[in-house]
Chain A
Amino acid sequence: MNSAIEAEAKRPQAPAVRRHPLARWARRYALQIGTVGVAFVIWLVFVIAAPTTFLSFNIYNALLVTTPYFAMVAIPLTLVIIAAEIDLSFGSIMAWGMTGFDVVYLNTQNFWLGFVACLLFGLMAGLINGLIVVKVGVPSLVATIGTQFFWAGAVLVVTNAQGIGLTFLQGSILHEGLVGRVGGALPMQFIWMIIIAIIVWFLLNRTQFGAHVFLTGDNVDSARLMGVNVDRVKITCFALVGLAAAFAGFVQSVDLLFFWPTMGQGNFLNTLAAVFLGGTSVFGGTGTIFGTFVASFIINAINPGIVAAGLTQYYTQVIYGFIVVVSIALQALLRRRLS
């Protein structure tokens, strides 16, 4: 290339340390290995504290049924948080998507159209979040608290706070395809959770968009200077959460065969806790889909764990809050030590 470089090339190099491939692998995936370790320890605690519950098949069946309800949102939410933003409006968007279904189905009697409307309503709500944050410049924490209330209110206005039964969906392809059982056992929503995890994992780790999510969250100025379209990256992340929230809301409603206009409000803490417990940094720039995936099950096992241990359910909220605060505090401490 040029003389300086060639000269440099001839300079003797310090011998490279040959690491065992396994050691290299362990280093690269330290975060994921840690998450699995934590999950295993918590599981052991549960098994010891309540063996009858945690050694029976039922608990795992229940976890496979209900974890996807919020994990399908937590997985794309991981992208938003890696990009150093936050979305607190996903709970309302779950119900807002179903409101779209409601309106279109009542007018057309076609539940497929209703399903498409649900997804579009969610996508639109996510895009609006992104535009408010990026184009107007409102911090995402504030912007999405605002839209959280806005969509929750809009749902109540449109539905007149009336739930609707969805028994007409029972036995339909939509019902079977989203919440049926594979081989009579494995719930379809768990399959969808895996599909979403694979798609989002691929986006994050194998596409330019994903590379730009990391860069945007790590140092937004550097990313801009090097030509990353930071605005588009952020808007896309918010849009994906909106889309996934509507889908998750639909899955949950179809499974229960009822749409509650307040649906999603209860998913606030567990969804966020899953992302942070999964090792995604609240400061942006680092995080894994695998971590969120595993942490979702840990989070969802806490409630039955507490009940089985003979405590009241009220402790669940205490522990979720505790997990959020502790995992973020650990990240803050780690960050201070490294800088």
Chain B
Amino acid sequence: MDDILQLKNVSKTFGEVAALHKINFEVGANEIVGLLGDNGAGKSTLVKIITGYHPPDPGGEIYWKGRKVDHLSVAKARDLGIEVVYQERALADQQSLWRNIFMGRELTNRWGVLDLGGMRNETQKLMNTMMGFTSAAVTPDSVVKTFSGGERQGVAITRALYFQAELIILDEPTMGLSLSETKKCLDFVEGIKKAGKSAIFIDHNIFHVHPVADRIVILDRGTIAGQFKKNQLTVDALIDRLQRLAHTGTLDISPQTAA
């Protein structure tokens, strides 16, 4: 079996709200999965179950490379090789850039003492290569609070890519980005594909998702309404189906995963 991640029968209820209902979802090795769905469809909730932030309701099962994972936690997911660019970016505003990059995964020497020099140097390297800061006043010790929206996203994306994850999840990474920054972000997603890794890419803009995704999964009010291999549908056909989904509440092709 090729899938690196499988969710089986996963549900998530918040009090009265059923955010996810009996989801079966998988991500293949070196596959980019585009996840589409309306506001409140449950996309971010699905992400947070995969990252161990939310435990699924009893009965749901998570498999990583064919092995069942019990009691997934965020730290455990990161150890497995899952990194995320969260929709809310998950930065600590008053902290320095290097503290944000290494948040929750600080480098230590073999006595468990923080490797401050190492983290500052790595951050400086990342700034020069990946983050594209145009302001020369920014150093690894700069506080993230003063960064622009695009720079903040850059930090979150860089952080997710830095740790050489096997599966990178991007939850609306292009939200609020300029055209050139969006282009860069989409390049990053293609880079993930070329590097042989997998990704889940969430974006409300179909024109962003369609070109980079291998497969598109459509989530609707907590259930998977359908999924397509990219070559099964053109962008126009996809938009058409989505519009009809919004009106009729059903997707007009049955859920399928062509082998």
Residues of chain A at the chain B interface (Cβ within 8 Å): 1-5, 7-9, 11, 13-17, 24, 27-28, 205-208, 210-212, 214-215, 218-219, 221-229, 281, 285-286, 338-339
Contacts and interface: CB of A to CB of B under 8 A. Distances in A.
A199 to B, nearest CB: 13
Contacts of A227: 52, 73-75, 77-78, 104-105
A15 B136 contact: yes
Nearest to B84: A225
A50 B104 CA distance: 51
Interface in B120-134: 128-130, 132-134
Interface of A is mostly: helix
B74 A225 contact: yes
5 contacts: A1-B191, A5-B191, A7-B187, A225-B86, A226-B74
Contact of A285 (B75, B94, B129): B94
Interface string B53-74: 1000000000000000000011
B125 to A, nearest CB: 10
A223 B92 contact: yes
B161 A1 contact: yes
Contacts of A281: 94
Contacts of A207: 108, 112-114
B129 A8 contact: yes
A214 B128 contact: no
Nearest to A18: B136
Contacts of B94: 218, 281, 285-286
B145 interface: yes
B90 interface: yes
A212 B114 CA distance: 12
B259 interface: no
Interface size band for B? 35 or more
Contacts of B105: 226-227
B213 to A, nearest CB: 16
Interface string B78-103: 10000010101111111100010011
B194 A3 contact: yes
Interface of B is mostly: loop
Nearest to B129: A9
Question: What 8 A-B pairs are tightest by C-beta distance, nearest first?
Answer: A2-B191, A4-B187, A227-B74, A226-B104, A218-B92, A227-B104, A227-B75, A222-B90
A208 B99 contact: no
A208 B114 contact: yes
Nearest to B77: A227
Contacts of B38: none
A14 B53 contact: no
Contact of A4 (B73, B88, B137, B190): B190
B73 A222 contact: no
Contact of A214 (B73, B95, B188): B95
Nearest to A19: B139
Contacts of B195: 1-2
Contact of A8 (B51, B77, B130): B130
A15 B137 CA distance: 10
A1 to B, nearest CB: 7
A215 B74 contact: no
B192 interface: yes
Given A211-B106, A215-B95, A215-B104, A225 B90 contact: yes
Contacts of A222: 88-92, 103
Given A1-B195, A215-B95, A8 B103 contact: no
Contacts of A339: 145
Given A16-B136, A223-B103, A225-B86, A285 B191 contact: no
A8 B125 CA distance: 12
B103 A226 contact: yes
Nearest to A13: B128
B191 A3 contact: yes
A15 B128 CA distance: 11
A24 B141 CA distance: 10
B135 interface: yes
B92 A285 contact: yes
A281 B184 CA distance: 37
B145 A338 contact: yes
Contacts of A224: 53, 74
